[in-house]
Amino acid sequence: MSNQNKELSFFEGVGYYFDNASKHVDIDEGLLALIKECNNVLRLKFPIKDENGKVRVFEAYRVQHSHHRMPTKGGIRYSTHIDQEEVMALASLMTYKCALVDVPFGGAKGGIKIDSKNETPEVVEKVTRRYTTELIKKNFIGPGLDVPAPDYGSGEREMAWIVDTYLTLNNGMIDGLGCVTGKPVSLGGVKGRTEATGRGVAYGLKEVFSFEEDMAKIGLTTGLKDKSVVVQGLGNVGYYSALFMQEYGCKVISIAEYEGAIYNENGLDVKEVFNHRKATGSILNFPGATNLSKSGDALELECDILIPAALENQITVDNMERIKAKVIGEAANGPVTAQASEYLAKKGIMVIPDIYLNAGGVTVSYFEWLKNLSHVRFGRIQKKHEEERNDLIANLLEKMTGKKMDDMERNVLSKGAEEIDLVNSGLAETMAKAYHGIREVWVNSNGKFDMRTAAFVLAISKVGSDYKSMGIWP
């Protein structure tokens, strides 16, 4: 890094990763320059009138990083901290993320400068609908153009307002439901999307922990059972990551939120912690757990796996030397700064990069979009047929073995796949396959670069080969 004393910004960090990885890909310089840049950057200012009749002006963004595949795709962040560079960085990460998990979209991201928790739902709704209208006017939204989704500070509620606004202004558009993902299931959403990012994190880490030689290098056994886990953030991604890690047999020893952190060496019950925070308004004072004085203390605990699942720039030059985790699973986007990431990798800590590990959300968004375009729920057409065939096989098995199955065995064997089964198995397969690809590049580098660089090398190569197949580039 050029200046050791100055930490790179999130946006600069993404550029730094790109440049680093570019040295290891065989792609024309001009094409690399094209891939790196954000293609379209839209900055908006728009007014809304609040309940008191006061006119308020909001600032918002939509950035489309790459059009090598269409539509472009990425969430909308609702936060007072957003700025153009942050949205550009996040849009770039979306391109690489989609490429890694073979989701055929270009990357995009949106941001609205709003403190939605402290605004009335009426204001958030007006802002969301106005933002959507602005995107429509500028051709920045549509099932084949650009498809937003939830991100930090937004969820199903906002996605419902977006699709409703879009359909109102595009009455009769047959594929209109595919203009946004992360919608409520009753409004064209897909089962499993809400928990998809967290589920993807757990699937990804399960894969990471299945390689004996990698685990031996960091002094761990294979498998997630009994591994100690620290999670930062109890929002959608953090909560579901923690929950699924617990389901895999991990001990979630600490959870941090902005008001503080709690610790119990024997493991916390994730659901109960969530309910406690909902009931009391704070994660602190959870029965049986110790309060940690600062939220950031949780990051520095001794543990097998640290999962930062909040925002960017959480592990920096300031705390990197005190990190004791053996594996860091980046569930958030950009939680480790570029400088800290290099330091940790050199120290032998496995940093599983965000562009891979949190790709479960966009993967299931892709499934939702496919469902919207096909106008049919996954499993609807084949489920009964599958069950009838499975029943025939079960009957045959009973006949051949002379043994009768009990009801549970019969059920397991006969059951046809529901939408949620197909979504989860598609996600599991995607996360496993993508990890194998990244790991191969990483292992083949013979220690030349870390796993993040490997992920960038693979992603850039994939985007580059898409461009090359258009026949424009050498």
List 45's β-bridge partners, or say none.
59
**Identity of the residue, 21 or 100, whose beta carbon is nearer to ligand GLU in the bound complex:** 100
**Identity of the residue, 166 or 343, whose beta carbon is nearer to ligand GLU in the bound complex:** 166
**Identity of the residue, 151 or 342, whose beta carbon is nearer to ligand GLU in the bound complex:** 151
- Per the CB < 8 A criterion, the answer to whether 282 and 275 are in contact is no
- Per the CB < 8 A criterion, the answer to whether 162 and 148 are in contact is yes
**Identity of the residue, 32 or 124, whose beta carbon is nearer to ligand GLU in the bound complex:** 124
Minimum CB distance to ligand GLU, residue 288 (Å): 34
Rounded Cα gap, residues 257 and 284, in angstroms: 9
List 228's β-bridge partners, or say none.
251
Minimum CB distance to ligand GLU, residue 237 (Å): 9
In 10 A of CB 398, how many CB atoms? 13
Helix (H, G, I), strand (E, B) or coil at 56: strand
Q: Which of 73, 97, 109, 251 is catalytic?
A: 109
- Per the CB < 8 A criterion, the answer to whether 59 and 81 are in contact is no
Our answer to whether residue 384 is catalytic in this structure is no
Minimum CB distance to ligand GLU, residue 360 (Å): 8
Rounded Cα gap, residues 459 and 102, in angstroms: 10
> Which among 242, 271, 244, 237 has a CA at the least distance from the CA of 254?
242
To 10 degrees, what angle do helices 338-346 and 451-469 make? 120
Minimum CB distance to ligand GLU, residue 434 (Å): 14
Minimum CB distance to ligand GLU, residue 397 (Å): 41
Distances (CA, A) of 182 to 95, 156, 234: 18, 6, 19
Helix (H, G, I), strand (E, B) or coil at 41: strand
**Identity of the residue, 260 or 334, whose beta carbon is nearer to ligand GLU in the bound complex:** 334
Minimum CB distance to ligand GLU, residue 75 (Å): 3
Instruction: For 323-347, give the DSSP string.
Output: ---SEEE--SSS-B-HHHHHHHHHT
User: Which is it for strands 290-292 and 305-308: parallel, antiparallel or unpaired?
Assistant: unpaired
DSSP label of 27: -
Minimum CB distance to ligand GLU, residue 196 (Å): 8
Rounded Cα gap, residues 461 and 474, in angstroms: 14
Distances (CA, A) of 382 to 191, 230, 283, 364, 420: 17, 41, 45, 20, 14
Q: What are phi and psi of 393, to 5 degrees?
A: -65, -40
Q: Which residue has the tokens 């004996």?
A: 212
Measured CA angle at 316 (ends 148, 293), to 5 deg: 100
With CB atoms as reference, the residue minimizing the distance to ligand GLU is 75
**Identity of the residue, 80 or 280, whose beta carbon is nearer to ligand GLU in the bound complex:** 80
User: Which is it for strands 251-257 and 106-112: parallel, antiparallel or unpaired?
Assistant: unpaired
Beta carbons within 8 Å of 123's beta carbon, 6+ residues apart: 48, 50, 51, 56
- Per the CB < 8 A criterion, the answer to whether 391 and 414 are in contact is yes
**Identity of the residue, 107 or 437, whose beta carbon is nearer to ligand GLU in the bound complex:** 107
Binding positions for ligand GLU, rule: CB under 6 A? 73-75, 149, 151, 181, 333, 358, 361-362, 365
Minimum CB distance to ligand GLU, residue 407 (Å): 39
**Identity of the residue, 367 or 442, whose beta carbon is nearer to ligand GLU in the bound complex:** 367
Catalytic residues: 109
